[in-house]
Structure 1
Amino acid sequence: MAETARAPRQGANSPEYSVSELSTAIKKTLESAYGYVRLRGEISGFRGAAASGHCYFALKDEKAKIEAVIWRGVVPGLRIKPAEGLEVIATGRITSYPGSSKYQIVIDALEPAGVGALMALLEERKKRLAGEGLFDPERKRKLPFLPRVVGIVTSPTGAVIRDMLHGFEERFPVRVLLWPVRVQGETCASEVATGIRGFNAIRPGGPIPRPDVLIVARGGGSLEDLWGFNEEEVVRAAAESKIPLISAVGHETDWTLIDLAADARAPTPTKAAEWAVPKYADLVEQLGKFGLRLFTAVQRLIDGNRVHLRAAVRGLPRRQALLDLPRQRFDAVERRLGRALSANTRAHAMRLAKCAGKLNPGLVEMRVARKRARLEQLGQDATAALQRRLGPPRRRLERA
């Protein structure tokens, strides 16, 4: 029986690839076919940055999923940071990772997919920061009544700074220090946070005066335009500020997270200038009212004291009445003193006369005579004793 011929294997003439060659070819095909793309999806599997600083996660919708990576050097410049469950629009390059035969997108830019995604991110961030106590009312400080220096963090161009300076000039001229920043864009948050911390770093008494109050201001805009003031670094800088801070971002209907961390939230930048300093005319008027109240109070006090003094005077006796009784007593004592002196003199004279009557001169003379005789006798005795004492020595002396 003849041997049956074997059918040729399908694709036997196709070129042979190694795994690495095929992976590299697929990678080149993906990168050349798509290049940069904008990809919309929900972030899934994000657990924070890896130890290397790179971020790994996936973008998914209801039917598919694609791996994504953000290199460490790109992360600081992102408009928003990746968060689990956040719907975003990622801009990047489609490529593949040969090590696991997976295609992925290397993201260079990340933005929220619409207002809904931004609001969800905003609510999540608000809840997390509130849990840390950054929005507690106990952290709020009172604004100074009359600041000498006001620090403003805003754009150096535009109507906001002009309106605020005009407001200061109309109400109460003060020294204003401006920290120029971008109030929109990717660097907005870092510049505003740096401005707040920069003002706080000024030492009192230095060549640059330290502000007594800070104002972070920006005109109105959409949620995307104001997003820089919702960034975590701005909120933390506002909460850590040792200088009282007024937030004046957007219009009255706008709100950002810095409004919650600030010590006061002004509906507009112009209103912030009004809150920062009092109106000079109002101060003059108030000072006049206080002066009038002080004058009235002092006048009432004087009148009241005058009434009390007059009542006390009526209750006091007359001056003549106060002196009459002591004068009468003095006259009575004077009369008694004269009589008493006369009586005392007579009593002493009588006592002296009685003593004189009892004295006898003869007795005194006899006593004196006896004493004199005794004295003479003692003198004679002393002379005789002295002679007896000196006689023998004298004779011995004469014989010698």
Structure 2
Amino acid sequence: MSASALPAPSSRPGATAPGNAPEWSVTELASALKRTLEDAFGHVRLKGEISGYRGPHGSGHAYFSLKDGGAKIDAVIWKGTLARLRHKPKEGLEVVATGKITTYPGKSAYQIVVDSLEPAGAGAWMALLEERRRLLAAEGLFDAARKRPLPYLPRVVGVVTSPTGAVIRDILHRLADRFPRPVLVWPVRVQGEGSAEEIAAAIRGFNALAADGPIPRPDVLIVARGGGSIEDLWSFNEEIVVRAAAESAIPLIAAVGHETDVTLIDHAADRRAPTPTGAAEMAVPVQHELSADLDALARRHAGALARLVDRRRSDLRGLARALPGPEAVLAQKRQRLDLAEARLAPALAANARDAQGRLGRVLQGLARNPPTLRLARARERLAGIDHRPRHALERTLAVQGERLAGLARRLEQAPARDLERRSGRLARAASLFSSLNYRSVLARGYALVLDGAGRPVGGTEAARAAGRVTVEFADGRVEATVEGGEAPESTRPAPRRAAARRGPAAAPARQGSLFEP
């Protein structure tokens, strides 16, 4: 870029311009460079490796650099563009970026504002494909245990493909040749922006149909597309399509590209067809072959039945030849009948003679012992035993009467004995009460001293403390006043005058016992 391409700087009063060198402000120079760079390059396509990628910032923008062996340029992807990109930028990925070259005056640097981004070359596409395949396989989406068998003869076939391409015509033509079946086509875009979302929505839409709804639910699905480059087939490598195929409850056949083209939906599908025509062949059998097989099976069945009947007929004939004739079967029975008939007449005669002999012996016994005599003997025996029950009853009554009389005597004597026993116990209790009653002691000359509360006084101290006491004798009570005390009997002299008055004939007083009557 030459200096003549730059706009002239603005003139300022008092500015001096030595020689021909113009005077610029920094902002003017930055603006002039920005306009010149954008006008000169506009939109460009840059191929390079992503370096220093910093994920979406809080603003949603992404910043990184594109570099090759000799240079590096800053790049920015605005938030709206980043959300639309099919291939998100990743560190170390070699890409082709399409965008506009501009400058950032705040850093005196130039950069590219990216509008679209795609892997650079088949190698980059294959590396991205392999990485995605590895991640999805780790989740188990490609496991053989998840795959379902295809129905032998589906009632309805669902097809997800472009309605205008040759693929749908090949599928319909092949289905009509093999076994005509109703076909439901869900039209989608098979490449370009938004195609992956349409394919996934079609698969999920077929699965969402009710089994008994107005639109019949397909028994098998075919997801098909013609051949193309890896970029053209990339919609079938998108994660949303692979997950929809793995989640499909309807058995799914993937027929994307030619036989050498392999996409991720091929791994997630229940069957992979090399071509869309091959998918139609997998979906339905050949009607003519089925008819031929059915005819062959019918012929084999009829032949087998005919051979079975012939073999059973031959077996029956062989068994019939081995069976004896009627004469041979009945000859032995007839001979046994003849022998039995020959033995029957002598046996009947012998039986009659035996019965006649038994009858004669019975008649002889009746003559020796006529019935009248036997009847008389029986009457004698009956008369002999007629009095026995009466005698037994009389003896039983006598024994019971004696027992009853004994019980009556015991019953009469029991009250007297009980009364006598109770009287003795009462007398002993009265004697014991009399001996233990304190009034019996009072009757022998003793007295009971009580204080004012009616409690017994046990000594002189208690009597002096009470003051007035009640003295109880056997015939009544008297009130007394305690005026003073006397010395104990062991320390005072015996009263001689009282002893002399009693005289020599007086016997010493003996203290009675409380237990004496």
What range describes the TM-score normalised by the shorter chain of this pair?
Answer: 0.7 to 0.9
Q: Does 1:204 align with 2:211?
A: yes
1:175 aligned residue: 182
Distance 1:38 1:371, change over 3 A: closer
Tell me if 1:265 matches 2:272: yes
Report the counterpart of residue 344 of structure 1 in structure 2. 351
Equivalence for 1:59: 66
2:54 & 2:350 partners in 1: Cα distance? 126
The answer (yes or no) to whether the contact 1:202–1:209 under 8 Å persists in 2 is yes
State the distance in 1 between where 2:37 and 2:291 align.
75
Greater shift in the superposed pair: 128-137 or 289-298: 128-137
Tell me, in whole angstroms, the C-alpha distance in 2 between the residues paired with 1:66 and 1:296.
84
C-alpha separation between the residues in 2 aligned to 1:63 and 1:343?
144
* CA positional deviation for 1:306: 3.2
Q: Report the secondary structure of 2:112's partner residue.
A: strand
Please report how far the alpha carbon of residue 365 of structure 1 lies from its aligned counterpart in structure 2 after TM superposition. 5.5
Structure 1 residue 62 displacement after superposition: 1.6
Specify the SS of the correspondent of 1:225: coil
**Further displaced range: 294-303 or 91-100:** 91-100
Matched, 1:283 2:285: no
Name the residue aligned to 1:3: none
8 Å contact kept, 1:115–1:223: yes
Question: Equivalent residue of 1:323, what SS?
Answer: helix
Deviations 1:215-244 (A, max 9, x none): 111122223222222222222222222222
Aligned to 2:364: 357
Larger Cα Rg: Structure 1 or Structure 2? 2
- Alignment-mate amino acid for residue 121 of structure 1: L
Amino acid in the other structure paired with 1:309:
L
| Aligned positions of 1:311-322 closer than 5 A | 311-322=318-329
Residue 155 of structure 1 and its aligned partner are, at CA, apart by 0.8
**CA displacement, residues 8-35 of structure 1 (integer Å, 9 cap, x when unaligned):** 9x9xx978779xx998998777667755
What's the counterpart of residue 296 of structure 1?
Answer: 303
Tell me which residue corresponds to 1:106. Answer: 113
Question: Structure 1 residue 309 and structure 2 residue 316: aligned?
Answer: yes
* Superposition pairs of residues 65-214 of structure 1, within 5 angstroms: 65-95=72-102, 103-214=110-221
Aligned equivalents of 2:139 and 2:230: distance in 1? Answer: 24
> Quick check: 1:189–1:229 contact (8 Å CA) kept in 2?
yes
Match in the other structure for 2:463: none
Cα distance between partner residues in 1 of 2:114 and 2:34: 16
When the two chains are superposed, the root-mean-square deviation of aligned CA atoms in Å is 3.6
**CA distance in 2: counterparts of 1:261 and 1:237, whole angstroms:** 9
* Whole-angstrom distance in 2 between the partners of 1:37 and 1:366: 157
Q: Distance in 1 between matches of 2:51 and 2:313?
A: 86
Alpha-carbon distance change, 232 to 324 in structure 1, aligned in 2, over 3 angstroms: same
User: What residue identity is the alignment partner of 1:310?
Assistant: R
Shift of 1:287: 0.8
Structure 1 position 97, deviation (Å): 6.3
Give 1:281 deviation, angstroms.
Answer: 0.8
Q: Does 1:244 align with 2:251?
A: yes
Q: Percent identity over the alignment?
A: 62
Distance 1:283 1:319, change over 3 A: same
Return 142-151 or 245-254, whichever deviates more: 245-254
How many Å apart are 1:309 and its aligned residue? Answer: 3.4
Q: 1:324 to 1:207 in 2, by over 3 A?
A: same
Q: Distance in 1 between matches of 2:373 and 2:203?
A: 127
SS at match of 2:80: coil
Q: What amino acid maps onto 1:58 in structure 2?
A: S
| Amino acid of the structure 2 residue aligned with 1:134 | L
Q: Which runs of 5+ in 2 are unaligned?
A: 1-15, 380-517
Is 1:42 matched up with 2:49? yes
1:59-109, Cα deviation, whole Å (9 max, x unpaired): 221223333333443334324232333222212344566887765433221
Assess if the C-alpha contact under 8 Å between 1:226 and 1:256 holds in 2: yes
Aligned partners of 1:158 and 1:371: how far apart in 2? 130
Residues 176-212 of structure 1 show CA distances to partners (whole Å, capped at 9, x for unaligned) of 1111001121122111121112212223222222211
Residue 275 of structure 1 and its aligned partner are, at CA, apart by: 1.8
The superposition leaves residues 136-157 of structure 1 with CA deviations (integer Å, 9 ceiling, x where unpaired) of: 4443332211111111001111
Classify the secondary structure of the residue corresponding to 1:360. helix
The aligned length equals 363
SS at match of 1:290: helix
Partners of 1:215 and 1:248 within 8 A in 2: yes
Distance 1:45 1:274, change over 3 A: same
SS at structure 2 position matched to 1:73: helix
**178-187 or 310-319, larger mean C-alpha shift:** 310-319
Give, in whole Å, the separation in 1 of the partners of 2:256 and 2:143.
Answer: 20
* Counterpart residue number, 1:396: none
Residue identity matched to 1:274: E
1:388 aligns with none
Change (3 A) 1:290 1:57: farther
Pair 1:330–1:371, CA change in 2 (3 A):
closer
The structural deviation recorded for 1:115 is: 3.0
Contact 1:86–1:120 under 8 Å retained in 2: no
SS where residue 57 of structure 1 aligns?
strand
Q: Which moved more, 1:158-167 or 1:284-293?
A: 158-167
3-state SS, counterpart of residue 247 of structure 1: strand
Larger relative contact order (C-alpha < 8 A, sep ≥ 6)?
A: 1
Residue identity in the other structure for 1:83:
K
Greater Cα offset, 142-151 or 294-303:
294-303
Alpha carbons of 1:67 and 1:15: their partners in 2 closer, same or farther (altered >3 Å)?
closer
- Is the 1:43–1:60 Cα contact (8 Å) retained in structure 2? yes
